[in-house]
Chain A
């Protein structure tokens, strides 16, 4: 496959079988946003990083699980590209209710959004998903390109970010809502299969249940070679240098209930900032 090649999904245009719907979720393991980023030898020091599910991906997982529950059947498959540690994040999603996982091993690879999308698209092609959910972006690099690339390489539509999602009765089309500037919402009808980038507000992600966590251990997890899926493709982006942003003015977090916080805010504005 050369750059710009497309995969073609073979899906019946006659409508889907609700009970056999195959739902893909693109998942990324990212550093907890509370992580203090340290740069050592021009690389990010990962030794003290706590790894979590990309928060926007949690909405994607929830959307997929709700769709399966509504349908009364089908399969939710998570696909992630990452090193061995990503398995931990995958287990968390399996504990939430996903059925199985595919990890594309990226050990030793230098990646960018393009190569990541190439690998994920290749894995998704084999799975022949009816629909793919992803977070609208990952909170580590904030590129917001990978899921769009996946849709592009699969030659299927994508909409991102979405705040509402509904599937029509014959499962051939989704109606989604996308915020645009000025508080306006676009309502878009999309033919399936398609990729959707999920935004905060789409749903409230669930917590893993105790039985869910226990079952997650025995759910199937497949590993693919990122190198094989890339077929010689190389990144289009290169990182030349890492630098921390200049320190800004220190903010002050006010906690407590609305009543307590408002009272404290007024006090600070009056006594410390001396502006009221």
Chain B
């Protein structure tokens, strides 16, 4: 691409060019290293729109990035400019929209700040990915993010009421739901949602390929519920999984989160400096959260959980079930949980130079198929002989499996296993990319999930909104 074009951009916008060392920050997300030609750090929305118009005319590919917490390379381009939303922070309004309590926010607002603002106004916004202290709300919408509490609250699509979008040429589009419309709570499969009725659903989870999400209006819930978090140790992965499946299908138990920490993930969790000593027999954990109305209600829930855990685990491990009922303790539990991916990512990154790294999964299956799917994964992962683990939203049939690869040859084998597992997940009625999107590194999963005719349909939608394929180039489509 003509270098002069980027020099010209630098005169118009706060731009980091390729020969500036500061661009290094924008070359990597959690999983992928790219090569942007320039980074425009938009000072405000006017900047974004002007930059988009300029790039459209000059046919420069544009990739939008927030905090680069993406797991698929979706926020890192291999060509063209990055338009960074990091300065586009702030709540615009907390009020009513179509008779619903809503929060309207700029796209670059950190997700935790959205939650905090809602809470301070007496409301509650429940969607919180693990990276909520870093990730940005517009990017959450762009991936249809979920998070720990999605077992009860579903993905962000369920709360997305209105979006202000700019298309590739800077044209503004307002997408909103009718008051009576009930959005889907389904997890993602791969690419665009196929059965959308309202174009807002096409944009949620579109991975920055259809337009720039400039403003987001989200439904709020009425109150901040009380809840406790619990870590329940189990003697084996299988026992923990059986407990999760039984709980997810139970009509009595209504947790807010229901996650697995398998044996290898627990080994990582144990390395956190404040993680307590557990009995040696603890080889897996179930992490759950339970909401309650008042102290009496809490005691009832504690009793109910104790009773089911007594039957599902062993007596010494039931004694070791940890409960966090204060904000500080709950936050510690969350940090231990977050310690798993952050530690694994850091370890895996050391193998990047050797062609290795982490192969992470995002597949999911309907809960009745979970045990079959996990047996399948564990059997194949054992045969592979590489370090692996499974954790996260298993209550929704959606674990994240991680395989650590020291070199390119190991990475190739782990990638093959990922494809095998994705085929199995689809065969069992699930999806290949539940919350991270496919971005650049998992584009090949699209054809596992969908027939060619469906992919062709997606391509047509892409062409309709972005005929020059300038937005998020390399995401979803080759």
* A residues with CB within 8 A of B: 32, 34, 50, 52, 92, 95, 204, 206-211, 213-214, 217, 255-257, 259-260, 263, 267, 270-271
Q: Are A271 and B22 in contact (CB under 8 A)?
A: yes
List B residues 303-329 near A (Cβ within 8 Å): 303, 305-306, 309, 318-329
Q: Are B133 and A210 in contact (CB under 8 A)?
A: no
* B residues with CB within 8 A of A: 22, 25, 133-134, 230, 232, 274, 276, 299, 302-303, 305-306, 309, 318-329, 342-343, 345-346, 349
Q: Are B328 and A209 in contact (CB under 8 A)?
A: no
Q: Which of B305, B321, B324: most chain A Cβ within 10 A?
A: B321
- In the bound complex, what is the Cα–Cα distance between A263 and B21 (angstroms)? 13
Q: Are A256 and B22 in contact (CB under 8 A)?
A: no
Q: Are A257 and B274 in contact (CB under 8 A)?
A: no
- In the bound complex, what is the Cα–Cα distance between A92 and B309 (angstroms)? 21
Q: Are A52 and B326 in contact (CB under 8 A)?
A: yes
CB contacts (< 8 Å) of B306 on chain A: these are 210-211, 214
CB contacts (< 8 Å) of A92 on chain B: these are 325-326
CB contacts (< 8 Å) of A32 on chain B: these are 326-328
Q: Which of A34, A207, A209, A257 contacts B343 (CB 8 A)?
A: A257
Nearest Cβ on chain A to B311's Cβ, whole angstroms? 14
- 10 A-B contacts (beta carbon < 8 Å): A204-B274, A210-B230, A210-B305, A213-B302, A213-B323, A214-B299, A256-B342, A257-B346, A259-B349, A271-B22
Q: Are A211 and B321 in contact (CB under 8 A)?
A: yes
Q: Are A209 and B319 in contact (CB under 8 A)?
A: yes
Q: Are B323 and A207 in contact (CB under 8 A)?
A: yes
Q: Which of B25, B299, B320, B326: most chain A Cβ within 10 A?
A: B326
Contacts between the two chains (Cβ within 8 Å), count: 67
CB contacts (< 8 Å) of B319 on chain A: these are 209, 211
CB contacts (< 8 Å) of A207 on chain B: these are 276, 322-324, 329
Q: Which of B133, B302, B329, B346 contacts A214 (CB 8 A)?
A: B302
Q: Are B318 and A211 in contact (CB under 8 A)?
A: yes
Q: Are A263 and B322 in contact (CB under 8 A)?
A: no
CB contacts (< 8 Å) of A256 on chain B: these are 133-134, 342
CB contacts (< 8 Å) of B302 on chain A: these are 210, 213-214
Q: Which of B133, B299, B324, B346 contacts A259 (CB 8 A)?
A: B346
Q: A32-B328, A204-B276 are contacts. A210–B323 as well, Cβ < 8 Å? A: yes
Nearest Cβ on chain A to B299's Cβ, whole angstroms? 7
CB contacts (< 8 Å) of A255 on chain B: these are 133-134
CB contacts (< 8 Å) of A211 on chain B: these are 306, 318-319, 321
CB contacts (< 8 Å) of B324 on chain A: these are 207
Q: Are B276 and A209 in contact (CB under 8 A)?
A: no
- In the bound complex, what is the Cα–Cα distance between A209 and B345 (angstroms)? 31
Q: Are A210 and B25 in contact (CB under 8 A)?
A: no
Nearest Cβ on chain B to A261's Cβ, whole angstroms? 10
Q: Which of A207, A208, A271: most chain B Cβ within 10 A?
A: A207
- In the bound complex, what is the Cα–Cα distance between A145 and B110 (angstroms)? 42
Q: Are A52 and B328 in contact (CB under 8 A)?
A: yes
Q: Are A267 and B323 in contact (CB under 8 A)?
A: no
Nearest Cβ on chain A to B43's Cβ, whole angstroms? 13
- In the bound complex, what is the Cα–Cα distance between A255 and B274 (angstroms)? 17
Nearest Cβ on chain B to A134's Cβ, whole angstroms? 20
- In the bound complex, what is the Cα–Cα distance between A255 and B328 (angstroms)? 16
- In the bound complex, what is the Cα–Cα distance between A52 and B331 (angstroms)? 14
- In the bound complex, what is the Cα–Cα distance between A51 and B342 (angstroms)? 31
CB contacts (< 8 Å) of B325 on chain A: these are 92, 208, 213
- In the bound complex, what is the Cα–Cα distance between A205 and B45 (angstroms)? 48
Nearest Cβ on chain B to A55's Cβ, whole angstroms? 8
Q: Are A267 and B322 in contact (CB under 8 A)?
A: no
CB contacts (< 8 Å) of A208 on chain B: these are 322-323, 325
* Residue on A nearest B298 in the bound complex, by CB: A213
- In the bound complex, what is the Cα–Cα distance between A208 and B345 (angstroms)? 31
- In the bound complex, what is the Cα–Cα distance between A256 and B341 (angstroms)? 11
- In the bound complex, what is the Cα–Cα distance between A271 and B16 (angstroms)? 11
- In the bound complex, what is the Cα–Cα distance between A34 and B276 (angstroms)? 24
CB contacts (< 8 Å) of B134 on chain A: these are 255-256, 260
- In the bound complex, what is the Cα–Cα distance between A270 and B41 (angstroms)? 14
- In the bound complex, what is the Cα–Cα distance between A206 and B306 (angstroms)? 19
Q: Are A270 and B318 in contact (CB under 8 A)?
A: no
CB contacts (< 8 Å) of A204 on chain B: these are 274, 276
CB contacts (< 8 Å) of B133 on chain A: these are 255-256
* Residue on A nearest B341 in the bound complex, by CB: A257
The 10 closest A-B pairs by CB, nearest first: A210-B321, A207-B322, A255-B133, A257-B342, A208-B323, A267-B25, A210-B306, A259-B346, A210-B323, A257-B346
Nearest Cβ on chain B to A209's Cβ, whole angstroms? 6
- In the bound complex, what is the Cα–Cα distance between A156 and B299 (angstroms)? 41
Q: Are B305 and A217 in contact (CB under 8 A)?
A: no
CB contacts (< 8 Å) of B349 on chain A: these are 259
- In the bound complex, what is the Cα–Cα distance between A210 and B315 (angstroms)? 12
Nearest Cβ on chain B to A56's Cβ, whole angstroms? 13
- In the bound complex, what is the Cα–Cα distance between A270 and B302 (angstroms)? 50
CB contacts (< 8 Å) of A209 on chain B: these are 319-323
CB contacts (< 8 Å) of A213 on chain B: these are 302, 323, 325
CB contacts (< 8 Å) of A271 on chain B: these are 22
* Residue on B nearest A50 in the bound complex, by CB: B327
Q: Which of B25, B274, B276, B343 contacts A263 (CB 8 A)?
A: B25
- In the bound complex, what is the Cα–Cα distance between A55 and B426 (angstroms)? 49
- In the bound complex, what is the Cα–Cα distance between A78 and B305 (angstroms)? 28
Q: A92-B325, A210-B230, A213-B302 are contacts. A267–B320 as well, Cβ < 8 Å? A: no
- In the bound complex, what is the Cα–Cα distance between A217 and B324 (angstroms)? 17
Q: Which of B276, B309, B327 contacts A210 (CB 8 A)?
A: B309
Q: Which of A92, A209, A263, A270: most chain B Cβ within 10 A?
A: A209
Nearest Cβ on chain B to A51's Cβ, whole angstroms? 9
CB contacts (< 8 Å) of A270 on chain B: these are 22
- In the bound complex, what is the Cα–Cα distance between A267 and B329 (angstroms)? 31
- In the bound complex, what is the Cα–Cα distance between A38 and B329 (angstroms)? 25
- In the bound complex, what is the Cα–Cα distance between A95 and B326 (angstroms)? 13
- In the bound complex, what is the Cα–Cα distance between A256 and B230 (angstroms)? 23
Nearest Cβ on chain A to B108's Cβ, whole angstroms? 15
